[in-house]
Amino acid sequence: MPKVLVSDKLSETAVQIFRDHGVDVDFLPDVGKDKDKLLEIIGQYDGLAIRSATRVTEKVIEAATNLKVIGRAGIGVDNVDIPKATAKGIIVMNTPFGNSITTAEHAITMMLALARQIPAADASTRASKWEKSKFMGVEVTSKVLGIIGCGNIGSIVADRAQGLKMKVIAFDPFLTPERALDIGVEKVDLDELLKRADFISLHTPLTDATRNIISAEAIAKMKDGARVINCARGGLVDEVALKDALESGKLAGAAIDVFLEEPAKDNPLFDAPNVICTPHLGASTQEAQENVALQVAEQMSDYLMNGGVTNALNFPSITAEEAPKLTPFVKLAEILGSFAGQLTETAISEIRIEYEGAVADLNTRPITAAAVTGLLKPLLGDVNMVSAPVIAKDRGMHVETTSREQQGAYENYVRLTVVTERGERSVAGTVFSDGKPRLIQVKGINMEAEVTPDMLYITNEDKPGFIGRLGTLLGDEDVNIANFNLGRLEAGKDAIALINLDSPLSDSQLKSIEAIPGVKQAKRLTFPV
């Protein structure tokens, strides 16, 4: 019988779920704060259920000689050393969807409080000032709510806002037209959202693509008197730029639940006018805390008793016999997905993955999951091999796989095709005998390229002199080229350059490349290799 330690406070109902599934459970909610005691007893357990108080450090993992799964009742896993757990073969789970309604309700609450200046009016009234004329509010009825990030939480916010008779528009590159129609929102690009929205609510992960998405430049495009709500992630909003906009009167107000640095004790927004600040309360309701506790108990029990893996943040288990064969192709698939994901800017409707040769005879499910993970991660950030297929399905993306015998020159061949509103884009690769992944085809153009951490992708007009101009510019910018790979379908048409670099490109360097005559698209690519 598997044995689980609950080292933080979970409800009795959650503890009973373990027992009902046949799991032996010890409920010791104070052990998480006692490092020595935790180190002493952790070796007895197959599973560890935690909230935020228990810190699962390298020392704890080393002492956990029997541990198979760590379950976090909640989203954040900063208190778990995931790389060390992964290296030891321990599955780390969280419960990312248990607080969706709570977070969405908090955003709506913040919006309404902002519209009617509730906190400031409350403070004024308690001070016996009775400043009725000072706190003139606005209605939300018939106003335009712009949602940046229309996934699980964003779609709930949209539903609640429609109940308030608001017009909802949304910016989300992965939102398909069909999904937008289903949830009753109008899909727009970011500039149009900024231009039209009376209220803007953020519900997107923090990634390189979304960092400071509300910048000084973005604020300049907003309506005068617009209001911003952020209950998603600190770092999505440039806090200094937001303060300047509030002080100048460009924006009428802001409601902020998350901050760049937390705990937020000396934040520039604290002195800004018309700001509501809360201490990261998005998930703080009794219902949400109970939901995530019940979910983590179900997930851990299913894994320990049946082998089912749900919401794992590291690689799902692969048998010892499969691992040597699968691992190189899992890596290749994630690279192919990441390549396509970094070049994709519009909604994805279909993902096609083709397996040819010996790889087609393997267990391709984890390979497919890796490809979808790589594809979604550039924009969605917190995506893993277990959650990616579910997220793709929820967003209306159809995933199709095909397996066939070897037909070309390569013993193993994997091709990923992404179908978007603008058309199709494909990228193919293989694994050579050295176990290293190689790109062998981009957009139907054959070219062989090694994958390195920093790369540059260019689509250009196939005209004389282009390579010389590009090489000269990179030299002038002190950018060293490791490898230069070229390909084209037909003379005089579009050509592709895929360049391995010794260092990442800066924004200014990329803009200089984009300005070269003949460049149609230039993208810097990064890979964790």
Q: Please, are residues 234 and 260 in contact by the beta-carbon 8 Å criterion?
A: yes
Token code pair at residue 205: 């992960």
Give the position of tokens 């009794």. Answer: 286
Catalytic option among 55, 116, 196, 280: 280
| Portions of the chain given CATH number 3.30.1330.90 | 315-442
Is residue 21 annotated as part of the catalytic site, yes or no? Answer: no
Pick from 503, 499, 502: nearest CA to 522: 499
Q: Quote the distance between the C-alpha of residue 205 and its chain's center.
A: 5
Please give the chain's pLDDT, 529 residues, in tens. Answer: 999 999 999 999 999 999 999 999 999 999 989 999 999 999 999 999 999 899 999 999 999 999 999 999 988 788 999 888 877 878 899 998 888 999 999 999 999 999 999 999 999 999 999 999 999 999 999 999 999 999 889 999 999 999 999 999 999 988 888 899 999 999 999 999 999 999 999 999 888 889 999 999 999 999 999 999 999 999 999 999 999 999 999 999 999 999 999 889 989 999 999 999 999 999 889 898 899 999 999 999 988 988 777 888 876 555 556 767 888 999 999 999 999 999 888 889 999 999 999 999 998 888 998 999 999 988 787 677 767 887 888 888 999 999 999 888 889 999 999 998 888 989 999 998 888 899 999 988 888 899 999 999 999 888 888 889 999 999 998 999 999 998 887 776 788 999 999 999 999 999 999 999 989 999 999 997 6
Instruction: Tell me whether strands 226-230 and 199-202 are parallel, antiparallel or unpaired.
Output: parallel
What region, left, alpha or beta, does residue 265 occupy, with left being phi > 0 and alpha being psi -120 to 50 degrees?
A: alpha
**Per-residue confidence (pLDDT) for residue 292, from 0 to 100:** 93
Catalytic option among 160, 233, 395, 415: 233
Fold for domain 3-97+287-306? Rossmann fold (3.40.50)
User: What are the distances in angstroms from CA 508 to CA 132, 218, 474, 512?
Assistant: 51, 19, 12, 6
The C-alpha atoms of residue 254 and residue 277 are separated, in whole angstroms, by 9
**Per-residue confidence (pLDDT) for residue 413, from 0 to 100:** 94
| Portions of the chain given CATH number 3.40.50.720 | 3-97+287-306, 100-277
| Portions of the chain given CATH number 3.30.70.260 | 452-529
Burial state string for 253-286 with b = 16 or more CB within 10 A and e = fewer than 16: bbbbbbbbeeebeebebeebebbbbbebebbebe
Adjacent-strand bridge partners of 497: 458, 486
Q: What strand order describes the sheet that includes 69-72?
A: 24-27, 3-6, 47-50, 69-72, 91-93
Give the position of tokens 């929820």. Answer: 394
**Per-residue confidence (pLDDT) for residue 315, from 0 to 100:** 62
Total count of residues recorded for the chain = 529
Q: Please, are residues 359 and 437 in contact by the beta-carbon 8 Å criterion?
A: no
**Per-residue confidence (pLDDT) for residue 321, from 0 to 100:** 66
Residue ranges of alpha helices (H) inside 205-355 are 216-220, 239-248, 286-306, 323-343
CATH number of 452-529: 3.30.70.260
What is the per-residue DSSP string for 488-527? ESSTTSEEEEEEEESSPPPHHHHHHHHTSTTEEEEEEEE-
Fold for domain 315-442? 60s Ribosomal Protein L30; Chain: A; (3.30.1330)
**Per-residue confidence (pLDDT) for residue 529, from 0 to 100:** 66
Distance linking the first and last C-alpha atoms of the chain: 40
Q: Please, are residues 369 and 388 in contact by the beta-carbon 8 Å criterion?
A: yes
Catalytic option among 262, 322, 400, 424: 262
Is residue 160 annotated as part of the catalytic site, yes or no? Answer: no
The C-alpha atoms of residue 450 and residue 351 are separated, in whole angstroms, by 24
Give the position of tokens 């009725």. Answer: 132
Fold for domain 100-277? Rossmann fold (3.40.50)
Give the position of tokens 């497919």. Answer: 368
Amino acid at 509: Q
Is residue 262 annotated as part of the catalytic site, yes or no? Answer: yes
